[in-house]
Amino acid sequence: MSGPAASSGIVIGLSAVVVAVRDGEVVVLTVRPHDAVTDIASPLPGLPFGPFDPEGHRTFELALRAFVTEQTRFQLGYVEQLYTFGDKGRDAPRAEVGAGAARVVSIGYLGLTPKATDTQAPDTAWAPWTRFFPWEDWRAGRPALLDEAIAPALRRWAGDDADRLSRARLAFALDGAPWNEERVLERYELLYEAGLAPEAARDRDRADGHDPAEPVALSAALGEPMISDHRRILATGLSRLRGKIKYRPVAFELTPAEFTLSTLQRTVEAIAGVPLHKQNFRRVVEREDLVEGLGRLDSETGGRPAELFRFRREILGARQAGGLSLPLLRE
């Protein structure tokens, strides 16, 4: 890294949440960085990342694109900045980019691609993000792990603290509270604060000057840990994407050029993590006038041939295009 960044005591780290949909599941591009001394790959996955060099990089985004290509051999398309994390203290995930004692300001980006292309880069893989946030998938109903594992652990942590109990109830839909699919980051940060995210103990040890090994998952219900603050950045990406599909047509950045309405619905369900009402979803698509029928059928659906559609991308330059609301399937 360059001298100015290191001498100031602050290093800017850039990380990319690169998302695709494969076989009806949302997947994210992960890497396993190598130790600079031993050249051994990390036991934990992370996101493509690297430090920003103010002397060598003209912009944050150009630096990020270079990191992703270098580490994964994958060319980014759609990209937007997510959030900047600069927290200092023991209550928030700690960013690490090999900067030693320097304080790291972590900037996350969201990238979307219509195809999870195999990169052939070493120690790089597409991973379903349900591995990291298993409680976020409600497509088959309320996950049993919420009531069997997460709720009891949060209640033990909260004790008689009314504020903690209220936050756990609202975040994880306990005691009849409604589920809000957009609160992904809030849920992860609550688990971190409660010490239920294994990254929390690692970061506390590092804050005390120790050099702990990377943690292992405390249980399958709590998801797999990641390096640095990458699970926090990934949670931020999922929160942003789940919110944005409702007011901008970003879901079409994750679909092929030609698709059936069933494929589109499965894509949106995979992002939102909730089941949708088929007929009402199609009414939403028709009302927003975002797609156009191609007059051809997809014979590879495995059942009755379905009509193929395309996203009317030309409307983006003509008007403010909306997103797709989520008509939930009520049991």
State the DSSP H helix or E strand holding residue 119, giving kind and residue range, or none if neither: none
Q: Mean pLDDT across the stretch 250-275?
A: 95
Closest of 71, 113, 86 to residue 241, by C-alpha: 113
| Phi, psi for 125 (deg, rounded to 5) | -155, 155
Find, among 100, 130, 119, 137, the residue nearest to 48 by Cα. 119
Which has the closest alpha carbon to 248: 109, 26, 80, 98? 80
Instruction: Retrieve residue 281's tokens.
Output: 């979803």
CATH number (1.10.10.10, 2.40.30.160, 2.60.40.10, 1.10.150.120) of 248-318 reads 1.10.10.10
Percent of the chain with pLDDT over 90: 64
Supply the DSSP symbol for 36.
T
DSSP track, 65-91: HHHHHHHH-----EEEEEEEE---SSS
Is residue 239 within 8 Å of 57, Cβ to Cβ? no
Q: Give pLDDT, residue 331.
A: 47
How confident is the model over 200-233, as pLDDT tens digits?
999 888 888 888 889 998 899 999 999 989 999 9
Structure tokens at 137: 């998938």
Q: What is the pLDDT of residues 68-92, one digit of tens each?
A: 988 888 888 889 999 888 766 545 6
Residue 135: the pLDDT is 98
What does the mean pLDDT of the chain come to? Answer: 89
pLDDT score of 7? 44
pTM of the model: 0.91
User: What pLDDT is stored for residue 153 in this prediction?
Assistant: 97
Residue 237 near residue 219 (C-beta atoms within 8 A): no
Other beta carbons within 10 angstroms of residue 84's beta carbon come to 11
Query: Structurally, what CATH architecture does the domain formed by 10-127 represent?
Result: Alpha-Beta Complex (3.90)
Quickly state the pLDDT bin for 134 (edges 50, 70, 90).
Answer: very high
Tens-place pLDDT, residues 290-330: 999 999 998 765 667 899 999 999 988 777 788 998 998 76
Contact 221/246 with Cβ under 8 angstroms? Answer: no
Instruction: Check for a shared fold between 10-127 and 248-318.
Output: no
Q: Where are the domains of the chain?
A: 10-127, 133-225, 248-318
Which pLDDT tens digit goes with each residue over 76-133? Answer: 888 999 988 876 654 567 777 665 556 788 899 999 999 898 877 889 999 999 999 9
DSSP calls for 242-304: HHHTTTS-GGGGGS-SSB-HHHHHHHHHHHHTS-B-HHHHHHHHHHHT-EEEEEEEETTSSSS
Sign of CA dihedral 170, 173, 177, 181: positive
